[in-house]
């Protein structure tokens, strides 16, 4: 903290010395009606569009126009194996092996497909453990799985809760739950980075705890992929899912990613829903062969992929390939640390940061509570040219994304916030 300094000159100097600052110019930055760039702090909800995305999509549109069905094999980027063009890059982003990684479907659909395979309840061991303030879609999904298997969706759900007066979760409380109820828990399904507090969970520690008590462990990494170093393979998790439209900048509602640990790669006996795209590629178009599942995460595909969405993902992943997640997270820590430093200048009596102060326990998002504030504060920030994110009951989420946010962005944001609350 002591390395940061006040003043606009310091922020500009940091941007001048930033090796990644030129990437900002490779993104479309939203502007106000007067043409001034807005301070965009919601990459944790929807990442900005890379300028290259249009050309990547246009390439597929041109090949479709000129080649028709032949584009499956003759396009510049042939459509039949198109998902394979994304696999290695995506694996690098989430810290997995290519055999463990696939881009397919959408986030909650992937979560359900994973639970088909990895939630295997019995009469005595059927409960699911999630964090108490999980993203609502995750809660809805696991509740519906409980109901689908004939269990009560309230009695079968175990919540890992923060202690009274606290916002963050403690691992010792998770272990206490497992000591007393572990024999009842079939699945632990945690958000890798909590959407509300921004707490980045120790995936390896969580997995080891779960496996120690015989539970299957999976993660929803929607707020982690492209934001933190997940190291999914090293975590030992059984599965993970994530979307690509937040930190991975692939566009609204774009396809999602899925991880299945390689120890499950050749297990053909795992229960799963199947479709022709999970069938052996060599015989897929013979049409009348018996189902022959592909090894690895590819074996969970169902349908041929939507190429236009994958083209947008490819545009973004090519940028991640250039930089690497390690350099991005290094800059992210500097940006977020600087933001934290400036917020603390406003005084703890005015602002409370509920996100962990330890950089290893968070990504770029800081969740801010402002004393005696309501959504009017967020509205005033919006009017001042800041796009941030309000979450009930009293939190503003801001995410300085290293690809396109600058130190100057953060300085201006802090000044605007100061003018409103002080």
Tell me the per-residue pLDDT of 163-218, one tens digit each, with 9 for 90 and over: 999 999 999 999 999 999 999 999 999 999 999 999 999 999 999 999 999 999 99
Task: Please write the tens of the pLDDT for every residue from 28-71.
Answer: 999 999 999 999 999 999 999 999 999 999 999 999 999 999 99
Residue 6 has pLDDT above 90, yes or no: yes
Contacts of the segment 304-309: beta carbons below 8 A, 24+ positions apart? 304/79, 304/276, 304/277, 305/82, 305/83, 305/103, 305/104, 305/255, 305/277, 306/255, 307/60, 307/79, 307/82, 308/57, 308/60, 308/61, 309/250, 309/251, 309/254, 309/255
The pTM of the full predicted model, rounded to 2 decimals, is 0.96
Contact 313, 254 (CB under 8 A): yes
pLDDT of residue 142: 98
Q: CA 412, 415, 419, 421: dihedral to nearest 10 degrees?
A: 110
Please name which of 143, 135, 417, 81 lies closest in space to residue 282, comparing C-alpha atoms: 81
User: If pLDDT is split at 50, 70 and 90, which confidence band does 394 have?
Assistant: confident
Residue given tokens 């479907």 in the structure block: 105
Mean pLDDT of the residues in the chain: 96
Between 249 and 349, name the one with better pLDDT. Answer: 249
Class of domain 81-322: alpha beta
| 350 has a pLDDT exceeding 90 | no
Q: Smallest Cα–Cα separation from 187: which of 226, 216, 166, 213?
A: 216
CATH architecture of residue range(s) 8-50+324-421: Alpha-Beta Complex (3.90)
pLDDT reading at 132 higher than 60: yes
What tens digit of pLDDT does each residue of 363-376 get?
999 999 987 777 88
Reported as a single tens digit per residue, the pLDDT across 99-113 is 999 999 999 999 999
What integer pLDDT is reported at residue 347 of this predicted model? 83
Burial class (CB in 10 A: 0-12, 13-18, 19+), 358: exposed
Considering Cα of 259, then 262, then 264, then 267, what sign does the dihedral take?
A: positive
Q: Where are the domains of the chain?
A: 8-50+324-421, 81-322
Which pLDDT belongs to residue 2? Answer: 58
What is the rounded CA–CA span in Å between residue 400 and residue 126? 40
Residue 128 and residue 140 in contact, taking contact as beta carbons nearer than 8 Å: no
Question: Is 70 exceeded by the pLDDT of residue 1?
Answer: no
Residue 349, pLDDT > 90, answer: no
- Segment 234-260 shows an average pLDDT of 98
| Residues 6+ away with beta carbon under 8 Å from 8 | 408, 411
């Amino acid at each position: 903290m002591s390395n940061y300094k006040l003043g606009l000159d310091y922020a500009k100097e940091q941007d001048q010395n930033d090796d990644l600052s030129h990437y900002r110019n490779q993104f479309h930055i939203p502007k106000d009606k007067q043409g001034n760039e807005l301070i965009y702090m919601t990459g944790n909800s929807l990442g900005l569009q890379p300028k290259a995305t249009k050309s990547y999509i246009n390439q597929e549109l041109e090949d479709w126009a000129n080649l028709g069905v032949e584009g499956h094999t003759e396009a510049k980027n042939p459509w039949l194996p198109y998902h394979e063009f994304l696999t290695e890059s995506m694996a690098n982003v989430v810290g997995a092996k290519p055999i463990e990684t696939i881009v397919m479907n959408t986030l909650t659909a992937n979560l359900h497909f994973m639970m088909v395979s990895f939630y295997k309840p019995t009469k005595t061991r059927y409960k699911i453990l999630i964090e108490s303030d999980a993203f609502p879609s995750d809660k809805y999904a696991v509740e519906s799985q409980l109901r689908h298997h004939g269990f009560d969706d309230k009695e079968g759900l175990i919540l890992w809760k923060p202690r009274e007066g606290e916002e963050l979760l403690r691992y010792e409380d998770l272990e206490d739950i497992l000591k007393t109820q572990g024999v009842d828990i079939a699945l632990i399904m945690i958000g890798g980075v909590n959407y509300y507090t921004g707490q980045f969970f120790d995936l390896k520690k969580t997995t080891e705890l779960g496996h120690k008590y015989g539970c299957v462990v999976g993660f929803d990494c929607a707020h982690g992929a492209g934001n933190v170093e997940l190291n999914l393979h090293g975590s030992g998790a059984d599965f993970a899912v994530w979307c690509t439209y937040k930190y991975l900048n692939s566009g609204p509602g774009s396809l999602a990613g899925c991880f299945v640990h390689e120890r499950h790669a050749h297990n053909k006996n795992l229960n799963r829903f199947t479709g022709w795209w999970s069938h052996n590629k060599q015989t897929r178009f013979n049409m009348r062969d018996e189902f022959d599942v592909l090894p690895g995460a590819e074996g969970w595909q169902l349908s041929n992929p939507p190429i236009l969405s994958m083209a947008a993902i490819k545009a973004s992943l090519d940028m991640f390939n250039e930089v690497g997640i390690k350099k991005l997270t290094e800059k992210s820590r500097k940006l977020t640390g600087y933001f934290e430093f400036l917020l603390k200048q406003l005084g703890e009596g005015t602002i409370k940061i509920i996100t962990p102060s330890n950089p290893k326990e968070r990504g770029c998002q800081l969740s801010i509570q402002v004393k005696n504030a309501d959504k009017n504060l967020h509205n005033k920030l919006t009017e001042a040219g800041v796009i941030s994110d309000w979450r009930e009951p009293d939190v503003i989420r801001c995410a300085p994304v290293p690809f396109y946010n600058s130190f100057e962005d953060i300085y201006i944001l802090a000044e605007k916030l100061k003018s409103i609350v002080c």
